[in-house]
Amino acid sequence: MSRIQACFEQLNTDGRKALIPFITAGDPNRDVTVPVMHAMVAAGADIIELGVPFSDPMADGPVIQKACERALEAGTSLHDVLAMVTEFRRQNEDTPVVLMGYLNPVEAMGYETFADACVSAGVDGVLLVDLPPEECEQVVPRFRQRGVDLIFLVAPTTTDERIRRIGEAASGYLYYVSLKGVTGAASLNVEEVAARVETIRNLAQLPIGVGFGIKDAASAQAVSRVADGVVVGSALVNQIAANAGQTDAIAPAVSAVLAEMRSAMDE
């Protein structure tokens, strides 16, 4: 059983929902990321999504685009991101870590090499934003046979047939994008999310994490009532950006946002 599957099963037993924070690795520099990861776990994170910085993050809004720019300016590479997970694992063997990014750096490294490196570092899952399920037949086995979960996005516009196909290819969980558009976008309609999550549940037998539009404790609580997990990114990356000139303040600022969400979700 993967760490991700074990995490969701334990949460289900406990009657709780997964809090899944996203930060961009190497933002604003490479020394900050691992301490922030540990701080997020202490604040109540169940799974960590670690963004691999990329020069053209087309699914991301300006907040995470700028985070990618800061991380790339700091010289952060895919090898560095894997090294961060290795370092994190020296103190934490339990919290699942998912790498979220784009195909280009992975293809440059090579799928086999990357999948092996994920196992060595202690990466539990990979979400490649621009890997469509129609083109993943050669990719899925390389991760599956190594026990690395391949996670896919589901959008409000995804057809039932495509959700079925994604459900067959994916493992770990599905990431439902609750808003049309890019990360950090407008307001959330929880009733629409609830209806869509129910449809996805009937088509794919995996936990569902909902992201995009989770800005505060209230929205995290509302989404946690209808989904298996709550993914929060831009709200945390905003804290990192606001404290980029005073890096000691980043972990406490990120932790404060997460702790409020965790408390609201557990009420």
Write the pLDDT tens digit of every residue in 28-85.
999 999 999 999 999 999 999 999 999 988 777 899 999 999 999 999 999 999 999 9
Given 27, 49, 149, 228, which residue is catalytic? 49
Lowest mean pLDDT among 3-12, 72-81, 126-135: 126-135
- Say if pTM beats, i.e. exceeds, 0.85: yes
Looking at residue 123, its amino acid is: V
Structural domains in the chain, CATH included, are 3-266 (3.20.20.70)
pLDDT at 181: 52
pLDDT at 221: 97
DSSP string for 209-240: EEESS--SHHHHHHHHTTSSEEEE-HHHHHHH
| b/e per residue 213-245 (b: at least 16 CB within 10 A) | bbbebebbbbbbebbbbbbbbbbbbbbbbebbe
Count of Cβ atoms closer than 10 Å to residue 14 Cβ: 9
Q: Is the dihedral of CA 155, 156, 161, 164 positive or negative?
A: positive
CA nearest neighbour of 153 among 209, 88, 217: 209
Local confidence band at 203 (pLDDT 50, 70, 90 cut-offs): very high
Backbone dihedral angles phi then psi of residue 266, each to the nearest 5 degrees: -90, -5
| 60 a catalytic residue | yes
Given 60, 124, 149, 228, which residue is catalytic? 60
Going through 155-211 in order, the beta strands assigned E by DSSP cover: 174-177, 208-211
pLDDT at 94: 97
Angle at 149 between CA 145 and CA 150, to 5 degrees: 100
pLDDT at 180: 62
| 49 a catalytic residue | yes
